[in-house]
Amino acid sequence: MHTYFLAPVGYNVGLTTVVLGLVHALEQKGLKVGFVKPISQDPTGEPELTSHFIRQINHHFAPEPLSMERAEHLLSLGMEDQLMEEIVGLYQQAVDDVDVMVVEGLVPNPQHAFVASLNSTIALNLQAGVILVGAVGEQSIEAVTEQFELAVPSYGAHNAMAGYIVNHIPGMQDAYALGREVVERSLQLQSHNLPYLGGIPHKPEFLHPRTQDIVEVLQARVLHSGDIRGRRVAQNLIIARSVPHIVHLLKPGALIMSPGDRDDVMMAVALATMSGIPLAGLLLTSNAEPDPSIQQLCQKAFSGELPVLLTAFNSFESASLLNNMSQHVPADDVQRIEQIIDFIAEKLDMTALLAGMALPHELRMTPPAFRFQMVEKARRLNKRIVLPEGNEPRTIQAAAICAQKGIARCVLLGHREDILHIAEAHGVELPDNVEILEPERVRAHYVAPMVELRKHKGLSPAMAEQQLEDNVVLGTMMLQRDDVDGLVSGAVHTTANTIRPALQFIKTAAGAKLVSSVFFMLMPDQVLVYGDCAVNPDPNAEELADIAIQSADSAIAFGIVPRVAMISYSTGDSGQGE
């Protein structure tokens, strides 16, 4: 499976519609496409538009994105790792049974200066190829090229780059030629050999709102709805001159703005309507309604499909509000968004992306994905884990976190009063489902089983009871008797003190010739397994091979594809062995 992250290189690039167009274009090639928008920038309470349209038009599941407030909160606390884990969690919700994932990035704005860096980090942790999206609009070709020139190093240093798209190309320009000109002017695009995935011409008609959409903007009252959901506003006309001078302006899509006391305008609009011209609507400004006699005369026109609205704003105020209204497609305007999506999909060239998908592709396990998958697996298993170092502050805090996140059912070994006092001193609130077990109350249960296990070594009950005073020994016996599912130790105890009781009471797994350890090393873009760095200081060749096999098996158990490499004991003077 491949993942593509669409990142804008500037403001107002039309990212939502480009994302939807790309999803549609990939589906037209017969691919199953999944989608996720990690973080929503829409106002609280309003639907995130891309996810909404994916559900409504493509009929795909799209997880609810995190709010920008949530992202900013975690970043302000220095908890970027937690943010990435939550984003990976959203991503994982959408990846089942898909061929390709499309991820929509954040749009930069003055309030969120960190967006470009955050986009790069998200793309890295999702192992996504980055598609840069720019737009011409009213900019010069030099300005557009500069935006790409600045964006490529921000992503290309750490992320795989998949291509670039140019949106809102003025109608008089050749889309393909402009895209080629951008790459010819950009050394960064050339150095990364980015394919041009398409140029999308600007279509003014895609910006036309429905007459219904202007009601809220103008705080208007609907006198007659007519075809208010079907008519679109292509032009706002303030009627100031006499009728003979405006007749040629009464065209399809025109919104006529005039006070209702302009009898001549009212009759002209009525005649145009009766002639079959589908005007966008009649907007009566300044709260001035037509004279009742004029209304009666124009009743047939004003009771048909022509929408008639009334607003308290005057004509010039109304025009100003309409000129500044949002150009985003409303959530319920399916007809408009479908036209845009079809148009964009037609203009995109999928050749390079499809060729890239055909190449061998192995995903690396990123640290947030590793943590997410490990936590999810632990939640499903719901194991009971004993923590022998129950009065150690970090252990207490870890038990609280495990309980809060539902990772495991933790058992702290130690005196209740001591543990609660240490927790309070360190500002840790232990949830009720963290179990505190006082060793004196359970130690006697394990004397006889321990004597039975070590009778060949001459262990007596008195000796067993003495050894069980060590909480690691006690915890290991709890594990041996299946009273718990696992043991975690090592915060204050040495590796040897942690492993020795397990070797005595539990023994090694069948087929294992020795016990070894692994470290999971969370690098910036992947997780590596280092083994063995703690148990066997000087293994021979046969033991080293066994360690490699065990380490590979541990990697597989945690979802990491093993690629085994042997490295030297020490390359500097830190090693004290042979």
The pLDDT tens digits of the residues spanning 172-187 come to: 788 888 888 888 888 8
Give the Cβ contact number of residue 370 at 10 Å: 20
61: how many CB neighbours lie within 10 A of its CB? 14
With beta carbons less than 8 A apart as the criterion, state whether 435 and 411 touch: yes
**pLDDT of the residue at 193:** 83
**The total number of structural domains that make up the chain:** 4
- Checking if the pLDDT of 570 tops 80, the result is no
Confidence of residue 292 (pLDDT cuts 50, 70, 90): confident
Q: Is the pLDDT of residue 478 over 90?
A: yes
Q: What is each CA distance from 107 to 116, 147, 196, 362, in whole angstroms?
A: 8, 13, 21, 29
Domain boundary among 323, 349, 380: 323
What percent of the chain shows pLDDT beyond 90?
52
| Contacts of residue 134, Cβ cutoff 8 Å, sequence gap at least 6 | 8, 9, 10, 13, 144, 147, 148, 151, 164, 165, 166, 167, 182
- pLDDT reported for residue 86: 93
Domain span holding position 286:
211-323
Domain CATH for 253: 3.40.1390.20
Question: Which pLDDT does position 574 carry in this prediction?
Answer: 59
Q: Is the domain of 133 the same as that of 265?
A: no
Residue 387 counted as domain residue = yes
Is 37 within a domain?
Answer: yes
How many other β-carbons are positioned within 10 Å of the β-carbon of residue 490?
Answer: 15
pLDDT score at 569 = 66
Q: In this structure, is residue 560 part of a structural domain?
A: yes
Provide the CA 348 distance to its chain's centre, in angstroms.
Answer: 24
> Could you tell me if 295 and 196 lie in one domain?
no
Each residue's pLDDT tens digit, 293-306: 888 888 888 888 99
Average pLDDT of 460-465? 93
- 330 part of a folded domain: no
Tens of pLDDT, residue by residue over 420-438, are 999 999 999 999 999 999 9
Percent of the chain with pLDDT over 70: 97
User: Do both 195 and 242 map to the same domain?
Assistant: no
389 in the same domain as 351: no
Mean pLDDT to the nearest integer, 527-532: 88
pLDDT band, very low/low/confident/very high, at 54 (cuts 50, 70, 90): very high
**Alpha-helical segments (H) within 253-291:** 263-274
At position 293, the amino acid (one-letter code) is S
Residue 60 pLDDT class (50, 70, 90 cuts): confident
> Predicted confidence band at 575 (pLDDT cuts at 50, 70, 90)?
low
What does the pLDDT read at residue 525?
A: 75
Q: Phi and psi at residue 123, in whole multiples of 5°?
A: -60, -40
What is the structure's pLDDT at 157? 66
Q: How much is the average pLDDT of 29-56?
A: 88
Q: Are both 352 and 432 inside the same structural domain?
A: no
375-413 pLDDT per residue, tens: 888 999 999 999 999 999 999 999 999 999 899 999 999
**Using 50, 70 and 90 to split pLDDT, how confident is the model at 47?**
confident
Is residue 577 scored above 70 in pLDDT?
A: no
Could you tell me which residues are beta bridge partners of residue 273? Answer: none
Q: Is residue 363, in this structure, part of any structural domain at all?
A: no
Q: Which of 507, 541, 565 delimits the end of a domain?
A: 507
* pLDDT at position 560: 87
pLDDT band at 363 (very low <50, low <70, confident <90, very high): low
My answer on whether 89 and 184 are in the same domain is yes
**Omega of the bond prior to 573 within 30 degrees of 0, cis?**
no
Statement to judge: residues 395 and 457 lie in one domain: yes
Q: Closest by alpha carbon to 350, among 562, 99, 84?
A: 99
Residue-wise pLDDT tens digits, 64-118? 999 999 999 999 999 998 999 999 999 999 988 888 999 999 998 877 778 888 9
Q: Are residues 435 and 483 in the same domain?
A: yes
At residue 239, the pLDDT reads: 87
Least reliable range by pLDDT among 34-48, 215-229, 397-411, 440-454: 34-48
**Tens of pLDDT, residues 242-257:** 888 888 889 999 999 9
- Measured CA to CA, the distance from residue 323 to residue 352 in angstroms comes to 39
User: Which of 79, 46, 88, 566 is CA-nearest to residue 373?
Assistant: 88
Residue range 353-371: average pLDDT?
77
| Helix H or strand E encompassing 410 | strand 409-413
pLDDT for position 158 = 67
Token look-up 């209740």 returns: 416
Per-residue pLDDT, 253: 92
Q: Are residues 187 and 240 in the same domain?
A: no
pLDDT-based confidence at 151, cuts 50/70/90?
Answer: confident
Which CATH number covers residue 407? 3.40.50.10950
Q: What residue spans of 407-532 are helical by DSSP H?
A: 416-425, 439-442, 447-453, 461-467, 471-480, 495-505
Q: Has residue 448 got a pLDDT over 60?
A: yes
Among 507, 536, 570, which residue terminates a domain? 507
- Mean pLDDT for the chain? 89
Question: CA angle at residue 178 from 172 to 181, to 5 degrees?
Answer: 145
pLDDT bin (cut points 50, 70, 90) of residue 338 is very high
Residue 194 sits in the same domain as residue 63: yes
First to last CA, the chain: 45
Q: What CATH number has the domain bearing residue 111?
A: 3.40.50.300
Assess whether pLDDT exceeds 90 at residue 152.
Answer: no
Does residue 460 form part of some domain? yes
Q: Are residues 146 and 101 in the same domain?
A: yes
- Looking at the structure, do residues 196 and 240 belong to the same domain, yes or no? no
Total residues belonging to the chain:
578
The answer to whether 15 touches 6, Cβ cutoff 8 Å, is yes
Q: Is the pLDDT of residue 287 over 70?
A: yes
Q: Does 329 reside within a domain?
A: no
Within-domain flag for 328: no
